[in-house]
């Protein structure tokens, strides 16, 4: 029992012992203000996100700010093998980290890492074609920039660009820690990547040196991956797959910019794009997307208040797609958001009509499944087991009411953002 108790001290929680740092110059190696933590580790160390075999384990992951050359430092005070415990081995932490990086392109020697980032910092330049530039905070109404204004650039590259993909494999390392269900993209010419970089001067700020090209440096911020699916008969349907903004650059409106402006403007100018879709966006991304799309559609004639109250229409589908490349599923969400905004919730008849229409959409798959089973039963198919697996009508009503409340709450948050932006 005492031996088992001893072993508990050799279990580390990956999120507690792992730290990241982006390095722009040598002083950053010791700057604790630059440290940031991972959000998840189950894709690296398993569902428990625990690491066995080390006492006082520390994992330091550093990356050169621009090219993202990686340095792994794994330290501990004692390893489980030292206890001479038969049959138990410590987890191979370095192998788990190395598996995230293609071609083993990382360093474990700090002096070597220093030489590499020092030699590349001045010459690193974004890969691909520049498609956007913006500043944070944005200039005021007079076009004047606030002190400390930062400059960001976005470049698009294809998976066919081998130099970019070598760089992207290092950027993807961070995705394992911040994108749930992440998997590497396969080399396919239909993949495109919009990568964001911060442009700064060698003294780490956007002084005139960065603006006029003297001592200019670039730091990698994040990326959006887009796959261009075929759309009958001769078009493509870009699907935004992954969005990653590294923690030091979050809350600067960068993800919103990429959704609202960069990717939209890039594909809007092409004449072979049907619409833009998203691959199972996380809640935060879907929220940004809904705010952006609702603000745009609010100005369209098809979404006038009287037409919203009248119900969802083909006119809405057509205008949303033609003007803003919004796909039908998202158009329906935008309609429900804007209709809630013009619905008098104190008017029971009007409010009930709205709730019923939203619930019909939420219940669509359940209703379709019941109809399919009923048809199969008429054809003589034994559907007893399948019917038993369905919730009862009372259970479904209770579940549907809960789903609706959640949806209305989210829609209310979007409407609040729209009101704030109009103020």
Q: What's residue 1's pLDDT? A: 42
Beta-carbon contacts of residue 381 (< 8 Å; ≥ 6 apart)? none
Query: Quick count: other Cβ atoms within 10 Å of Cβ 261?
Result: 14
Q: Are residues 21 and 102 in the same domain?
A: yes
CATH number reported for the structural domain that contains residue 386 in this entry = 1.10.10.390
Rounded distance, CA 268 to CA 154, Å? 17
Longest dimension (CA), the chain: 79
- pLDDT for 6: 66
Clarify whether residues 381 and 255 are in a common domain. no
| Backbone phi and psi for residue 221, each to the nearest 5 degrees, phi listed first | -105, -45
239 within domain boundaries: yes
Question: Looking at residue 106, which CATH number applies to its domain?
Answer: 3.90.360.10
Separation between Cα atoms, residue 295 and residue 306, nearest integer Å: 17
Which residues are CB-contacts of 38 (< 8 A; sequence separation ≥ 6)?
14, 15, 18, 20, 177, 178
From start to end of 14-119, where are the E strands? Answer: 18-23, 50-52, 54-55, 58-64, 70-75, 78-79, 106-107
User: The domain spanning residue 185 has which CATH number?
Assistant: 3.40.630.30
pLDDT of residue 142: 66
- Three-class SS of residue 13? strand
Q: Give CA–CA dist 285/242, Å, rounded.
A: 10
Query: Can you say whether the dihedral through the CA atoms of 400, 406, 412, 415 is positive or negative?
Result: negative
Residue in 74, 76, 78, 59 with CA at minimum distance from that of residue 21 = 59
Q: Is residue 402 part of a domain?
A: yes
Task: Let me know whether 276 and 162 are in one domain.
Answer: yes
DSSP secondary structure string for all residues of 203-228: TSS-SHHHHTTTTEEEEEEEEEEEEE
Per the CB < 8 A criterion, the answer to whether 244 and 175 are in contact is yes
Domain termination site, one of 121, 138, 159: 121
The answer as to whether 30 is a domain residue is yes
Position 83 scores a pLDDT of 56
117 and 133 inside one domain: no
Taking 70 as the pLDDT cut, the residues of the chain under it are 1-6, 82-86, 104, 140-143, 203-214, 369-370, 386, 423
Determine the pLDDT at residue 209: 44
**Domain range enclosing 333:** 292-422
Same domain, 93 and 147: no
Residue 83: inside a domain, yes or no?
Answer: yes
**Residue 106 and residue 138 in one domain:** no
- Compute the distance between CA of residue 401 and CA of residue 80 in angstroms, rounded to an integer: 52
- Within this chain, do residues 80 and 36 fall inside the same structural domain, yes or no? yes
| Statement to judge: residues 370 and 340 lie in one domain | yes
- Answer yes or no: is 286 within a domain: no
Residue where a domain stops, chosen among 79, 103, 121: 121
Same domain, 94 and 176: no
Please tell me the predicted confidence (pLDDT) of residue 206. Answer: 45
Q: Which of 211, 279, 315, 322 is catalytic?
A: 279
Task: Tell me what pLDDT residue 213 has.
Answer: 57
Report if residue 229 sits inside a domain. Answer: yes
One domain, residues 247 and 314: no
Q: Which residues contact 185 (CB under 8 A, 6 or more apart)?
A: 159, 172, 191, 225, 241
Q: Where are the beta strands (DSSP E) in 186-285?
A: 191-201, 216-231, 235-245, 277-278
Tell me the pLDDT tens digit for each residue of 52-70. 999 999 999 999 999 999 9
Q: What is the pLDDT of residue 54?
A: 93
CB 216 within 8 Å of CB 254: no
The residue among 96, 121, 146 that closes a domain is 121
Paired strand residues for 276: 326
Indicate if 308 and 375 belong to the same structural domain: yes
Q: How many distinct structural domains can be found in the chain? A: 3
Q: Does residue 287 form part of some domain?
A: no
- Say whether both 41 and 155 belong to one domain: no
Report the C-alpha gap between 60 and 248 in whole angstroms.
Answer: 16
Task: Please report whether residue 285 resides in a domain.
Answer: no
279 labelled catalytic: yes
Whole-angstrom distance, CA of residue 347 vs CA of residue 265: 40
């Amino acid at each position: 029992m005492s031996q088992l108790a001893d072993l508990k001290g050799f279990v580390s929680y990956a999120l507690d012992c792992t730290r990241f740092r982006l390095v722009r110059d040598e002083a950053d190696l010791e700057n604790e203000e630059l440290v940031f933590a991972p959000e998840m580790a189950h894709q690296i160390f398993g569902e428990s996100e625990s690491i066995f075999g080390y006492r006082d384990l520390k994992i330091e992951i550093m990356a050169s700010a621009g090219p993202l050359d990686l340095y792994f430092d794994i330290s501990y005070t004692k390893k489980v093998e030292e206890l001479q415990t038969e049959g138990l081995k410590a987890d191979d932490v370095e192998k788990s980290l190395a598996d995230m990086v293609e071609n083993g392109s990382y360093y474990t020697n700090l002096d070597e890492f220093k030489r590499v980032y020092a030699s590349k910092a001045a010459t690193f330049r974004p890969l691909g074609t520049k498609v956007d530039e913006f500043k944070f905070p944005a200039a005021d109404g007079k076009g004047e920039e606030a002190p400390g204004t930062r400059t960001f650039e976005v470049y698009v590259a294809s998976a066919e660009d081998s130099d970019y993909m070598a760089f992207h494999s290092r950027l993807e390392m961070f995705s394992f820690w911040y994108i749930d269900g992440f998997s590497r993209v396969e080399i396919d010419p239909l993949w495109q990547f919009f990568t964001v970089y911060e442009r700064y001067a060698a003294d780490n700020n956007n002084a005139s040196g960065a603006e006029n090209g003297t001592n200019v440096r670039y730091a990698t911020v994040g990326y959006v991956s887009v796959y261009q699916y075929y759309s009958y008969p001769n078009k493509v349907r870009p699907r935004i797959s992954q969005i990653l903004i590294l923690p030091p650059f979050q809350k600067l409106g960068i993800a919103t910019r990429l959704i609202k402006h960069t990717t939209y403007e890039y594909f809007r100018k092409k004449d072979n794009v049907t619409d833009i879709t998203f691959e199972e966006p996380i809640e935060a991304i879907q929220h940004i997307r809904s705010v952006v799309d609702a603000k745009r559609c609010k100005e369209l004639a098809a979404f006038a208040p009287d037409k919203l109250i009248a119900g969802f229409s083909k006119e809405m589908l057509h205008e949303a797609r033609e003007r803003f490349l919004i796909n039908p599923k998202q158009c329906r969400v935008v309609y429900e958001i804007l209709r809630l905004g013009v619905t008098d919730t104190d008017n029971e008849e009007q409010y009930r009509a709205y709730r019923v229409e939203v619930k019909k959409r939420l219940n669509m798959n359940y209703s379709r499944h019941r109809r399919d089973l009923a048809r199969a039963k008429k054809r003589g198919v034994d559907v007893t087991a399948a019917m038993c697996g369905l919730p009862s009508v009372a259970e479904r009503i209770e579940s549907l009411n809960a789903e609706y409340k959640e949806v209305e709450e989210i829609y209310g948050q979007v409407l609040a953002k729209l009101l704030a932006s109009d103020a």
